[in-house]
Amino acid sequence: MNESYVLPLVDISKMQSADLSDRLEVANALDQACKDVGFLYLKGDQFNFDFARALILVAQRYFQQDTATKMQHYIGLSKNHSGYVPIGEEQFSGNSYDLKEAYDVNYDYCGEMTQFPLLGPTLWPNDEVFKQTVSAYYRHLRDISEQIFQAFALALNVDEHFFDAKITHATSQLRLIHYPYNPEVKDAEGIGAHTDYECFTLLLPTAPGLQVLNKQGEWIDIPLIENTLVMNIGDMMEILSNGKYLATKHRVRKVAEERYSFPLFCACNYDTVIEPVPSHEPAQYQPLIGGEHLFNQTAQTFNYLKKRVASGELILNNAVPLSSFGLCESINDNRGETV
């Protein structure tokens, strides 16, 4: 059953207030929306949609290039999982086929060398305007995401700055996704059903297509609302909240028009231990290393990483199966299960 469904809308403007009661008002609204649905719209005075409009234009120009040019910066050539993602590179389950291409940008970390596979300098195309425009949007949303982490801390009844030290060099990824309209393709989804791996996602879409699995097991179409972002809960926030918030399964149906989508996946530092925040409730989840979980899930979906796993070049430690969180599976069956 498909129907148009409007998500809760939370205004985060008051997170900028010096008055704690204002910030608690935002935290309470965020808490309610995340408990009820796990998907919501965000608006606020913090958002400058000029950055978004510039991003859309530069993405349209980039994806108009021929495939050979884009493949010069293929993600499999990078050291920190960044770069161009061709159609068919990702596979969430079975033999599903995603009708999309993307350019993935990580936190452009240029500090001390680390052994973390998702942290390092981004593989950029030879286009300075692209780099500057994408970086400006990334920085803008990353700044706002820090306020949202503080709102979550308040909502979870811990110190407002609980997350501050955990997101200094976060492995948060921005994806520029292009869904081409192709009437000849009859069975392909834009992107297969999945949960996001990180804490939460801030999504800017340009056209309809997003669907969310509701608590009745129905796929619900999510309409666009101008000057808002769509936000959803990911695996790590489900753990941090001890199941208070559930990661919500979602997909992009076959698009009826060309579509662009720009999710920023907001995570913690690679080596952060993700476990339920301190409370009086017994922990319902096994702790995991945030970056390790993120990389393990990524390695189970991207073909270039799957090949490395199959050849023995890459070994995944403590990996849980895809879709181990949220409403899409029996949670009790999956907590702590590894592959």
Structure tokens belonging to residue 285:
């989840």
Q: Does residue 197 sit in helix, strand or coil?
A: coil
Distance separating alpha carbons of residues 264 and 234, to the nearest angstrom: 12
For 47, 48, 172, 224, the CA distances from 227, given in Å and listed in that order, are 8, 9, 22, 9
What amino acid occupies position 153?
A
Distance separating alpha carbons of residues 52 and 262, to the nearest angstrom: 9
- Complete DSSP assignment for 246-278: ----EEEPPPSS-EEEEEEEE--BTT-EE-PPS
Q: How would you write the pLDDT of the chain (339 residues) with one tens digit per residue? A: 344 447 899 999 999 999 999 999 999 999 999 998 889 999 999 999 999 999 999 999 999 999 999 999 999 999 899 999 999 898 765 555 568 899 999 988 887 767 788 988 999 999 999 999 999 999 999 999 999 999 999 999 999 999 999 999 999 999 999 998 766 655 545 466 778 999 999 999 999 888 888 777 888 888 999 999 999 999 999 999 999 999 888 888 766 778 999 999 999 999 999 999 999 899 999 999 999 999 999 999 899 999 999 999 999 988 888 878 876 433 333 333 222
Q: What is the pLDDT of residue 329?
A: 39
- In the chain, what is the greatest distance between 2 CA atoms, to the nearest angstrom? 56
Report the C-alpha dihedral over residues 318, 118, 31, 15, rounded to 10 degrees: 160
Distance separating alpha carbons of residues 198 and 237, to the nearest angstrom: 7
Q: What is the pLDDT of residue 113?
A: 64
Short-list 123, 17, 38, 31, CA closest to 79: 123
Q: What is the pLDDT of residue 333?
A: 33
Q: Does residue 335 sit in helix, strand or coil?
A: coil
Q: What is the pLDDT of residue 185?
A: 56
Residue with tokens 């009790």: 332
Distance separating alpha carbons of residues 269 and 67, to the nearest angstrom: 33
Short-list 336, 307, 272, 276, CA closest to 116: 272
Exposure string over 150-177, b if 16+ CB within 10 A, otherwise e: bbbbbbbeeebebbeebbebbbbbbbbb
**CATH architecture under which domain 9-334 falls:** Sandwich (2.60)
* Residue 10 neighbours by CB under 8 Å, 6+ apart: 26, 29, 30, 33, 40, 41, 42, 43, 231
For 16, 27, 74, 159, 328, the CA distances from 31, given in Å and listed in that order, are 18, 6, 39, 15, 21
Q: Would you give the DSSP letter of residue 99?
A: -
Helix (H) or strand (E) holding 149: helix 128-155
* Residue 76 neighbours by CB under 8 Å, 6+ apart: 83, 304
The 10 Å Cβ neighbour count of residue 331 is 17
